[in-house]
């Protein structure tokens, strides 16, 4: 099956991805899930992640060619691909793509309507632009990391979901699609500078507004949904599991307390001075039953309570199973494409691309004869 046979709202859009790790591949996967024909240009030395390429879900729905950008053949092949593409995505440090001869100027000279997406942590300019970094550092300087965790302990970080994928990959996709719309409406191609620090800061817009209005304190566990309130947080159950409580609104809180079985004499939620007592009462009640028992108690209610599941448990949750939130493709369980489209649904069409296996196919479909000079076949 060729990439040109894809369905989805981006069917017919051609994307070149210069191989990297983390947010760049995830952004390209999202475009591929939506139907774009994504060709990943892998390095001869193999992928950056220490996992088998056949298990790297972020490379699903793509095809792969292998090119050494330090050689003339590799550079020529990438520029020829860029000349036939709508979008190119790279995640190098600032200046690296230019030194390799595949930077924005070189690519846009070949294709003036190309959208050139750049994925970095610090952005293309600024005092830290040329330094190394990872998700945890990017979200740290934006204030986002300092939002979570106990007041008397260190901040808690949500793996690399908030920075790499939330503030990085998703903002790159938004930018690419907006620039693609501009180009297809008759405008010129352009560079999209997607910095994780910018996107993560943007995600905190609501909280900055609340802080300006005096409705948010700039410290942990002092606000409604940062663990400060006893009716928005997690509680341990009798079997060592946890339940997540989000009963912010009064009407949901009333139902929560009724189903929890706490008496009306419990400390009032309107008195923050007694939140510690209320939290202790709720915690003691949750410890009386198992996670499964509490799940049954709150099932179908508006109390805004849910079990905290592990990654392996999540696909079996009844609601997620009914929606097909996770799918299995060629023996690999993975999140389904999102969001959903009524007329042009996305799908998992191809397993994760193995480096170099699709060179001949891409050369034919994209009419890029220079690919014939590149290495072919899988790389381990």
Task: Find out whether 191 and 118 touch, Cβ atoms under 8 Å.
Answer: yes
Provide the greatest CA pair distance for the chain. 78
Closest to 90 in 3D by CA, of 136, 21, 30, 138: 21
Q: What is the pLDDT of residue 3?
A: 43
Active site residue 164: yes
Residue 200 has φ and ψ, to the nearest 5°, of -65, -40
Helices (H) and strands (E) in the chain, counts: 13, 11
Q: What is the pLDDT of residue 33?
A: 97
Residue 64 has φ and ψ, to the nearest 5°, of -125, 140
Domains of the chain, with CATH numbers? 3-203+326-373 (3.40.50.10540), 242-307 (3.30.1540.10)
Task: Find out whether 20 and 26 touch, Cβ atoms under 8 Å.
Answer: no
Q: What is the number of other CB atoms lying within 10 angstroms of the CB of residue 180?
A: 24
Q: What is the pLDDT of residue 61?
A: 97
Q: Measured in Å, how far apart are the chain's first and last C-alpha atoms?
A: 23
| CA–CA gap between residue 347 and residue 367 (Å, rounded) | 26
Strands 242-246 and 305-307: antiparallel
The residue annotated as part of the active site, out of 37, 164, 198, 358, is 164
Between the alpha carbon of residue 255 and those of residues 237, 340, 367, the distances in Å are 19, 32, 63
What contacts 55, CB < 8 A, 6 or more positions away?
332, 352
Q: What is the pLDDT of residue 6?
A: 61
Condensed to tens digits (0 to 9), the pLDDT of residues 176-211 reads: 999 999 999 999 999 999 999 999 999 999 999 999
Task: Determine whether 266 is exposed, middle or buried from the number of CB atoms within 10 Å of its CB (0-12, 13-18, 19+).
Answer: middle
| CA–CA gap between residue 110 and residue 87 (Å, rounded) | 13
Which residue numbers in the chain have pLDDT < 70? 1-6, 46-49, 376-380
To the question of pTM greater than 0.85 for the whole model, the response is: yes
- Give 3-state DSSP helix, strand, coil % of the chain, rounded to 5: 40, 15, 45
| CA–CA gap between residue 35 and residue 370 (Å, rounded) | 25
The residue annotated as part of the active site, out of 45, 130, 134, 372, is 134
| CA–CA gap between residue 196 and residue 172 (Å, rounded) | 9
Active site residue 134: yes
Q: What is the pLDDT of residue 47?
A: 56
């Amino acid at each position: 099956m060729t990439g040109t046979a894809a369905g989805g709202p981006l069917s017919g859009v051609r994307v070149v991805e210069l191989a990297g790790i983390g947010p760049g591949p995830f952004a390209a996967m999202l475009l591929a899930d939506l139907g774009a024909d994504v060709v990943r240009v892998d390095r001869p030395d193999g992928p950056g992640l220490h996992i088998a390429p056949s298990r790297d879900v972020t490379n699903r729905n793509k095809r792969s060619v292998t090119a050494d950008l330090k050689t003339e053949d590799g550079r020529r092949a990438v520029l020829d691909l860029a000349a036939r593409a709508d979008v190119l995505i790279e995640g190098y440090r600032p200046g690296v793509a230019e030194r390799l001869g595949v930077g924005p100027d070189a690519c846009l000279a070949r294709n003036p309507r190309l959208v050139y997406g750049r994925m970095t942590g610090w952005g293309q300019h600024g005092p830290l632009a040329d330094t190394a970094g990872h998700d945890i550092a990017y979200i740290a300087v934006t204030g986002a990391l300092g939002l979570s965790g106990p007041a008397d302990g260190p901040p808690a970080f949500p793996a690399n979901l908030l920075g790499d994928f939330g503030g990085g990959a998703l903002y790159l996709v938004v930018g690419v699609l907006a620039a693609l719309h501009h180009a297809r409406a008759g405008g010129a191609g352009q560079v999209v500078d997607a910095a994780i620090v910018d996107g993560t800061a943007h995600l905190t817009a609501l909280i900055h507004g609340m802080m300006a209005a005096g409705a948010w304190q700039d410290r942990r566990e002092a606000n409604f949904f940062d663990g400060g309130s006893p009716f928005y947080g997690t509680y341990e159950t009798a079997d060592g599991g946890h339940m997540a409580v989000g009963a912010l609104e009064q009407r949901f809180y009333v139902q929560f307390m009724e189903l929890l079985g706490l008496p009306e004499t419990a400390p009032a939620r309107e008195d923050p001075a007694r939140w510690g007592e209320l939290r202790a009462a709720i915690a003691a009640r949750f410890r009386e039953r198992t996670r499964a028992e509490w799940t049954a108690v709150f099932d179908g209610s508006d109390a805004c309570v849910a079990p905290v599941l592990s990654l392996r448990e999540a696909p079996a949750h009844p609601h997620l199973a009914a929606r097909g939130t996770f799918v299995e493709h060629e023996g690999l369980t993975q999140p389904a494409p999102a969001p959903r489209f009524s007329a042009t649904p996305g799908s998992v069409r191809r397993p994760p691309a193995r480096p170099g296996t699709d060179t001949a196919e891409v050369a034919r479909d994209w009419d890029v004869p220079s690919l014939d000079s590149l290495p072919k076949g899988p790389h381990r």
